[in-house]
């Protein structure tokens, strides 16, 4: 009896589950679940698309924010860009300078290349000049004071790392003109000591050199070297020249006259120039110098390089190197006087010095 009753109940339930009304109800419920799931997925996708849209808009805005600032505050952004880029370049040079200092301790000055010697000359002055600006700008809220000042006085407060190409040319000419103002006083000091030379032959050679300079030309390299002995002893060696003569030498080399041991400082400068000259020769001579390096070398040694061709700069620098190769520590005064002996009447120097007066 139990088995018969069980079978009957199972058949009844099976018939109920397979009835049309129950299957329809199941389908409706399944469809409603699918619709709700699709509506939720649609809402989520719309929310995600909106989030992505605004995220991308924000990223684009951040990327182009400098352009927005450039449009609204052009002068401020120009100062900021100059300061930030210049600081990066200055930091790279500072790292190179530290490496060069280590190289000097290990190998000595003679192991340095031309670029490293140039960095050894320029970097100490740049550090003295820019350090106060960098220290003050690191203090909170001082940027509002520093940026306008460096914008209006870049020559006084910033180094060449922060200057544009036009600024570099303008400030180079300004500094070079300051040096040229002392050419004539130094020439007078040279001229004044001609009568003190006792040797007749040397006195005649010196008079020829001075006469060439006074007549608007330049003596030959051989004529200058024939007077070399006068620059290793009386009257033109560093140990023999007088105070005013020393002062004029400092000025034409762009050095301060307020320091102590001026003759020792001149000796160090002369030896540094000679080492630079030797480095140029080791690296292939004047024809191997890049254009910017050639311009700097000519300007550093006393000639205004503006409107000079590569060939004329190379020819002039070749004459300088010919004299430098014959100079030693005892006769280093000859190299220090070479800006007068080789460049006193140079056309570009006179143009720079007297062009404004003619106007």
CA pair distance 53, 146, nearest whole angstrom:
40
Phi and psi at 237, nearest 5°, equal -70, 160
Task: State both tokens at 117.
Answer: 């010697």
- Residue 336 in contact with residue 247, Cβ under 8 Å? no
- pLDDT at residue number 10: 43
Below-70 pLDDT ranges, the chain = 1-80, 356-359
- pLDDT at residue number 143: 72
H or E element at residue 98: helix 74-107
Task: State both tokens at 52.
Answer: 């992505």
- Residue 212 in contact with residue 310, Cβ under 8 Å? no
Q: SS3 letters for 137-183? A: HCCCCCHHHHHHHHHHCHHHHCCHHHCCHHHHHHHHHHHHHHHHCCH
CA pair distance 41, 84, nearest whole angstrom:
49
CA pair distance 194, 211, nearest whole angstrom:
11
Cα separation values, 69 from 48, 55, 60, 139, 260, Å = 31, 21, 14, 23, 50
CA pair distance 13, 7, nearest whole angstrom:
10
CA pair distance 147, 153, nearest whole angstrom:
10
- Residue 322 in contact with residue 334, Cβ under 8 Å? no
- pLDDT at residue number 338: 96
Cite the beta strand spans of 213-348 per DSSP E. Answer: none
Count CB neighbours of 306 within 10 A: 14
- pLDDT at residue number 70: 53
Cite the beta strand spans of 283-358 per DSSP E. Answer: none
Count Cβ atoms within 10 A of the Cβ of residue 316 and give its class: 0-12 exposed, 13-18 middle, 19 or more buried. buried
- Residue 325 in contact with residue 283, Cβ under 8 Å? no
- pLDDT at residue number 15: 45
Task: State both tokens at 239.
Answer: 């140990």
- Residue 219 in contact with residue 341, Cβ under 8 Å? yes
Summarize pLDDT for 26-54 with one digit per residue, the tens: 454 545 555 555 455 555 566 566 655 55
- Torsion sign, CA atoms 281, 283, 287, 289: negative
- pLDDT at residue number 23: 47
Question: Residue 289 — left, alpha, or beta (φ > 0 → left; ψ -120 to 50 → alpha)?
Answer: beta
* CA 98 centroid distance within chain: 16
Task: State both tokens at 66.
Answer: 């400098």
CA pair distance 251, 185, nearest whole angstrom:
10
Torsion of CA 34, 39, 40, 44, to 10 degrees: 140
- Torsion sign, CA atoms 211, 214, 216, 220: positive
Cα separation values, 67 from 75, 86, 99, 172, Å = 13, 20, 38, 33
- pLDDT at residue number 18: 40
Token look-up 């010095």 returns: 353
């Amino acid at each position: 009896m139990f088995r018969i009753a069980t079978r009957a109940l199972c058949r009844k339930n099976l018939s109920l589950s397979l009835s049309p009304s129950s299957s329809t109800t199941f389908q409706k419920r399944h469809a409603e679940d699918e619709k709700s799931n699709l509506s939720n997925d649609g809402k989520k996708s719309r929310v995600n698309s909106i989030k992505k849209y605004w995220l991308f808009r924000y990223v684009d805005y951040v990327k182009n924010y400098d352009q927005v600032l450039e449009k609204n505050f052009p002068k401020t952004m120009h100062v900021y860009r100059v300061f930030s880029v210049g600081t990066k370049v200055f930091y790279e040079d500072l790292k190179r300078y530290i490496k060069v200092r280590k190289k000097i301790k290990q190998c000595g000055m003679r192991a340095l290349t031309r670029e490293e010697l140039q960095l050894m000359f320029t970097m100490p002055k740049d550090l003295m000049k820019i350090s106060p600006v960098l220290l003050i700008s690191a203090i909170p809220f001082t940027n509002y004071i520093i940026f306008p000042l460096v914008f209006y006085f870049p020559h006084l407060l910033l180094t060449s790392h922060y200057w544009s190409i036009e600024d570099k040319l303008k400030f180079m000419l300004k500094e070079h003109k300051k040096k040229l103002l002392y050419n004539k006083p130094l020439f007078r000091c040279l001229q004044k000591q001609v009568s003190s030379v006792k040797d007749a032959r040397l006195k005649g050679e010196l008079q020829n050199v001075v006469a060439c300079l006074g007549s608007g030309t330049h003596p030959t390299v051989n004529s200058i070297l024939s007077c070399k002995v006068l620059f290793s002893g009386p009257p033109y060696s560093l140990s023999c020249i007088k105070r005013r003569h020393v002062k004029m030498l400092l000025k034409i080399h762009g050095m301060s006259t307020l320091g102590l041991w001026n003759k020792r400082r001149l000796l160090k400068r002369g030896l540094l120039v000679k080492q630079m000259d030797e480095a140029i020769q080791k690296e292939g001579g004047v024809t191997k110098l890049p254009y910017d390096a050639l311009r700097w070398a000519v300007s550093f040694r006393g000639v205004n390089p503006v409107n000079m061709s590569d060939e004329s700069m190379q020819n002039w620098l070749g004459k300088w190197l010919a004299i430098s190769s014959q100079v030693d520590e005892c006769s280093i005064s000859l190299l220090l006087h070479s800006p007068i002996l080789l460049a006193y009447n140079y056309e570009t120097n006179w143009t720079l010095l007297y062009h404004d007066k003619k106007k």
